[in-house]
C-alpha cells in the first residue's frame, strides 16, 4: 500500500482531512506525532453518518441481573444437641416469642459456623432460657 491508496472498507470523500491537512499525522507541543484521529491515517476526510451505533450485541449483555437464589437457611438445628436445646427454648414459659426466635436463630447460626453446639454455648443459652431462681 503506497501513500496515496486508501484502506478498503472506509467511506472517503475526495477532500483531504481537515485536522491533519492530508499529512496523516498530527503533532503536539512536545514534539510527539501520532496518527490523525479524524482520518485514521488515510489523509482523506471520512464521511460520517452523524450517528455512531454503540448498541451492545453480545448475548451476555441481555442477561437479566437477577441474582441466583440463595440457599434456604435451615429452620431447625441439625445436630442432636442443637435439637435438644431448641426444644428447651420452644417449651420455655419465661421467654417471649421474640426472645425464642432470637435464641433459636443463634443456635442454628452457631451450628452452621461450628458444626455442633459446644457445652459452653449450651450453658450460655440455658442461662437465658431457664427462669431465674427467686431469692
Per-residue pLDDT at 64 exceeds 70: no
What percent of the chain stands above pLDDT 90? 33
Q: Where is pLDDT greater, at 32 or 63?
A: 32
Residue 3, pLDDT above cutoff 50: no
Instruction: Find the mean pLDDT for residues 50-69.
Output: 69
CB atoms within 10 A of CB 64: 5
Question: What predicted TM-score, i.e. pTM, was given to this entire model?
Answer: 0.47
Q: How far is CA 11 from CA 47, 50, 63, 86, in A?
A: 6, 13, 35, 77
The rounded mean pLDDT for the chain is 81
Locate 132 and state its grid cell. Answer: 431465674
Amino acid at each position: 500500500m503506497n501513500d496515496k491508496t486508501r484502506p478498503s472498507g472506509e467511506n472517503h470523500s475526495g477532500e483531504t482531512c481537515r485536522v491533519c491537512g492530508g499529512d496523516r499525522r498530527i503533532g503536539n507541543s512536545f514534539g510527539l506525532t501520532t496518527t490523525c484521529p479524524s482520518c485514521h491515517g488515510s489523509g482523506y476526510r471520512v464521511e460520517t453518518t452523524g450517528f455512531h451505533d454503540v448498541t451492545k450485541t453480545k448475548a451476555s449483555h441481555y442477561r437479566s441481573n437477577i441474582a441466583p437464589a440463595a440457599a434456604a437457611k435451615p429452620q431447625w438445628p441439625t445436630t442432636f444437641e442443637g435439637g435438644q436445646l431448641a426444644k428447651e427454648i420452644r417449651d420455655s414459659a419465661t421467654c417471649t416469642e421474640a426472645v425464642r426466635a432470637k435464641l433459636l436463630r443463634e443456635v442454628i447460626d452457631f451450628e452452621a459456623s461450628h458444626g455442633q453446639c459446644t457445652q459452653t454455648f449450651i450453658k450460655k443459652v440455658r442461662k437465658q432460657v431457664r427462669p431465674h431462681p427467686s431469692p
